[in-house]
Amino acid sequence: MRIMLDLDGVLRDLVGNWRRMWTAKFGEPQCDPSSWRQFAQAGAAVGMDEEETYRLLFDEWGYELTSSALPYPGAVGCVRNLRKAGHWVVIGTDQRTENMRFGTVSWLAFFRVPFDELVFTSDKATIEADVYVEDRPETLLALKRQMPGRLVVRMRRPWNQCLAGDGRIPAIDRLEELWGLMEGWGAKGT
């Protein structure tokens, strides 16, 4: 099977790394961690407009932000097991700048994450897969709508709790739980 795994929020704790870096420079971020807009909120709290905030995060901090983040517990091992079981693993990620893309490639190499394809895109529906694991609410809804008959899975994070009551999108807390969903969905091979 082809399995598309989002990187940030599924395999890599980018938000945790951002919070660490932000706290070192500005103090504890003043934002709602359950909001997808927490970066812009934190920037506004220290007098930055949205453009300045994203320039800092994606351009100035882009490489360090992406290359020094930690993987979520068990995530890399699960990817290794998916590959060992013969699944085709696609890492799909929206890295907005060259710094972030270079940091991501470095991160994947450092943690020895096995994959068959690495796709940088903001539109995950352009990635052909049988199973999609994602954390961003808008992307989850778009995948569910645009990819009928596919297994779309929500990695539970504070910023996607708005989908908690949506029975159309199963949710997991750890990537290892994906195995049970795939078996229940009837996905029995490559």
SS3 171: strand
CA–CA separation, 92 vs 4, rounded Å?
6
Q: Examine the domain organization and report whether 91 and 49 are in the same domain.
A: no
Query: Over its length of 190 residues, how does the chain's per-residue pLDDT go in tens digits?
Result: 999 999 999 999 999 999 999 999 999 998 887 777 889 999 999 999 999 999 999 999 999 999 999 999 999 999 999 999 999 999 999 988 999 999 999 999 999 999 999 999 999 999 999 999 999 999 999 999 999 999 999 999 999 998 988 788 999 999 999 999 999 886 444 3
Q: Residue 117 sits in a domain of what CATH number?
A: 3.40.50.1000
Q: What is the reported pTM?
A: 0.92
Q: Examine the domain organization and report whether 121 and 57 are in the same domain.
A: no
Q: Examine the domain organization and report whether 6 and 92 are in the same domain.
A: yes
HEC-encoded secondary structure of 93-116: ECCCCHHHHHHHHHHHHHCCCCCC
Q: Examine the domain organization and report whether 87 and 156 are in the same domain.
A: yes
Q: How many domains does the chain have?
A: 2
Is the residue at 190 inside a domain?
Answer: no
What pLDDT is stored for residue 165 in this prediction?
A: 84
Q: Examine the domain organization and report whether 53 and 108 are in the same domain.
A: no
Q: Examine the domain organization and report whether 79 and 49 are in the same domain.
A: no
Is the residue at 33 inside a domain?
Answer: yes
Range of the domain at 143: 2-13+70-184
What pLDDT is stored for residue 129 in this prediction?
A: 97
Q: Examine the domain organization and report whether 134 and 177 are in the same domain.
A: yes
Among all chains, which residue has been given the structure tokens 């500005």?
26
Q: Among the three residues 67, 83, 100, which one is the final residue of a domain in this structure?
A: 67
